[in-house]
Structure 1
Amino acid sequence: MLTVGTVVLGVEDVPRAAAFWCAALNLVPRDVVDGDFAVLVPGTGHGTSIALGRSATPVQKHPRVHLDLYSEDPAADIEHLLGLGATRVADWDLYPADPDFTVLADTEGNRFCVIDKS
C-alpha cells in the first residue's frame, strides 16, 4: 500500500521558505536547514512533512499541484499567514461564484488555498 510521505515544494530561498512553513503549520526542521534542501516535519510528530528544494523553475500562475490548508477560522488563519509573509493572489481568475476557499502565495510565490471548513 502506498501513502503520501512528504510534499515537496520548489523554492528560491530555502531558509526563508522553511521559516514561513514552520511558523504556518507548526513544523520543525528535521535537520539543519541549508541553502539547497530542507525537510520540515510536524512538531507533534504526526502529520504530513514538507520538503523544500532550491529550484530555478518559475512559479506557475495556475499550478497543477498545490496545498489545501483546512481552517475552522479562515479569516484569522489568513491574517496569521499574511503576517508571516504570505500574500493574497488578487488576480485569481478561477474562483467560483461562492468560493469556500481563498488563494494565497507563500514567500516564494507558491500558490496554496485556505479552505473554509466551518
Structure 2
Amino acid sequence: MTYSNGELVVVVDVADLDRAADFWTAALGYTRAGEPSTYQTLLPAVGSGIEVLLQKVPDRKQAKNRVHLDLRTPDLDTEVARLLALGARQLTADPLHEDGWSWHVLADPDGNEFCVLRPPG
C-alpha cells in the first residue's frame, strides 16, 4: 500500500517502547525492525501492510484518540479475549452495534483506544 506521496505509516505514542512493542507485535502479527531508540518500527511478519511506528513520549495520554486502529475479526469474543490476555483493557462492557457491525472498544497498555470489529454476516 502506498500513499500518493510516499508510504503510509501509523505512529502510536507510548510511554514504554518494549511493553508497547510486545503488545502490538502479538496483537497484529508484526515483528520489530531495527534497534529501538525513541522509536520502534513494527512491520508485518508475513506479506505487506502498514508500518506501525511506536514513539516514546514523556507525556501521558489525556483524552480520547482522534485516530484509532480497527482490528476486524470473524470471532469477536475470541479476539477480544486474546487481546485482553496480551494486556489490553476492555472499555465497553457490551458490544456496540451499527449497520450489522458489532465491536468492542479496547485500550492498549498505554491507554490508546482501538476497536475490535466483527463485520456483518
Q: Scaled by the length of structure 2, what TM-score is found?
A: 0.82
- The verdict on how the C-alpha distance between 1:76 and 1:4 changes in structure 2, with shifts beyond 3 A counting, is farther
- Cα deviation for residue 57 of structure 1 reads 3.2
Q: RCO (CA 8 Å, sep 6+): is it higher in 1 or 2?
A: 1
RMSD of equivalent CA atoms: 2.1
Q: Percent identity?
A: 35
Q: How many residues align?
A: 113
Structure 2 residues not aligned, in runs of 5+: none
**Cα distance per residue 1:81-104 (max 9 Å; x no partner):** 00000011148xxx86x3521000
Cα deviation per residue 1:12-44 (whole Å; 9 max; x = unaligned)? 00110001000111100111234x210000001
Q: Aligned in 2, Cα 1:112/1:45: closer, same or farther, shift over 3 Å?
A: same
- Deviant stretches of 4+, over 2 Å: 1-4
Q: State how far apart, in whole Å, the 1-side matches of 2:64 and 2:7 are.
A: 22
TM superposition shift of 1:106: 0.5
**CA spacing shift, 1:57–1:4, aligned 2, 3 Å:** farther
Aligned equivalent of 1:66: 68
- TM-score under structure 1 length normalisation: 0.84
